[in-house]
Amino acid sequence: MSASHASFSLIKTCPSSQARAGELVTPHGAVPTPIFMPVGSQGSVKTLTPGEVRDTGMSMVLANTYHLYLRPGISVVEKAGGLHKFMVWDGPILTDSGGYQVFSLAGLRRVSDEGVVFRSHIDGSEHTFTPELAVQYQESLGADIIMVFDECSAADSSRARVEQALQRTHRWAERCLKAQRRKDQALYGIVQGGVFSELRRRSVEFLTSLDFPGYAIGGLSVGEPKQSTYDVAGETAALLPEDKPRYLMGVGSPEDLVECVSRGIDVFDSALPTRVARNGALYTPSGRVNILNAGFSEMLQPIDATCGCYNCRTFSAAYLHHLFKARELLAYRLATIHNLTFISNLIRRMRETILDGTFNSFRDDFLANYQTTDEVTRLDQKQKWFQSRNTSS
């Protein structure tokens, strides 16, 4: 097994589904699983202080190596004593290797077997990432869990193109393992293969032969239908070792979390809850609502009377509606606090019901009452967001 101070203990599996409760132990503390990580790509969960992130119930965050490499620079973070001290976060941190940017910044990079040449979205300068450099940078940042450098394919890629990226991902995974020097960080492998079951199986077989301390499922939530996400995540999770954590990358809508926990996923991350919050979309037990709608302009109750977050304890929906209309900065903070609290409570509740044997009833009740975003609208919004990533920061 890869040497690391991180470990995972499986506590209970739901007998009539694949839902699991466990504990992930890291050098910066233990976290219960299932766990959701808010995204702080540049060392900050947008609009919130570390204390406010903690107050929402979040105990682990994700940061991005590529973005921190560009700003402020890996050496600056290293001189500050590492990412934990630099961003003043004392809990566990996971860093993405920059592999996701191979996909999301497709118009700003060139890929070869050696690595990737990125053209900076900030000033147009070129920067080369290799598997060895991705590991070196993450070791300098000092996260508890680090990721291999990989190539993620677009949802509409051909099978041949996905297989080519898969083979490259496997070669890069071997190079990342050989490059790892720090033994207090857990290096996770990333399973690729698009929506092709046979490629996913091959990827699992290859990566598990390298015996990583944890495994991520990449290449999903990149524009494919939700049912495909669920099917591939479940099929892949079932192939992974039972005693290792299973991390589904980039998935974070409430219904997706419930569906994928039921399929055996332990760890999640997504920028979705914080991004939609800044656009006025707030989670409630009955679904996502738009606080900008006129119906909230005179609603003197909180947006969700069952929520205990700072926003719902303190302010009315009418006040939050006013802040968004006036474009006051407080609006984005309050909405972000609410959405992260909602997700945190959802994750906590799922774990409780796995442990007490009532998860399936909880899942069915939640999905029956939670109205999801229209699939066509969702895919259109996602595509527009992907396109914007190639032209802005």
φ, ψ dihedrals at 237, nearest 5°: -60, -40
Q: Annotated catalytic residue: which of 96, 150, 256, 266?
A: 96
Q: Determine the distance from the C-alpha atom of residue 141 to the mean position of all C-alpha atoms in its chain, rounded to a whole number.
A: 18
Helix axes 254-261 and 226-239, enclosed angle (nearest 10)? 30
Q: Please give the Cα distance from 200 to 195 (Å, whole number).
A: 8
Of these residues, 150, 256, 266, 269, which one is catalytic?
269
Q: Hey, is 263 helix, strand or coil? A: coil
Phi, psi at 360, each rounded to 5°: -60, -40
Tokens 């399936």, located at residue: 360
DSSP 8-state code for residue 291: T
In this structure, what DSSP letter does residue 371 have? B
Catalytic residue status for 269: yes
CB atoms within 10 A of CB 392: 7
User: What is the distance between the alpha carbons of residues 133 and 382, in angstroms, rounded to a whole number?
Assistant: 30
DSSP label of 309: S
Cα–Cα nearest to 213, from 257, 176, 165, 250: 176
By the 8 A CB rule, do 146 and 97 touch? yes
364: how many CB neighbours lie within 10 A of its CB? 12
Please provide residue 304's backbone torsions phi and psi, each rounded to the nearest 5 degrees: -145, 105
Alpha-carbon distances, residue 78 vs 68, 83, 160, 178 (angstroms): 11, 7, 40, 22
Active-site residues, by number, are: 96, 269
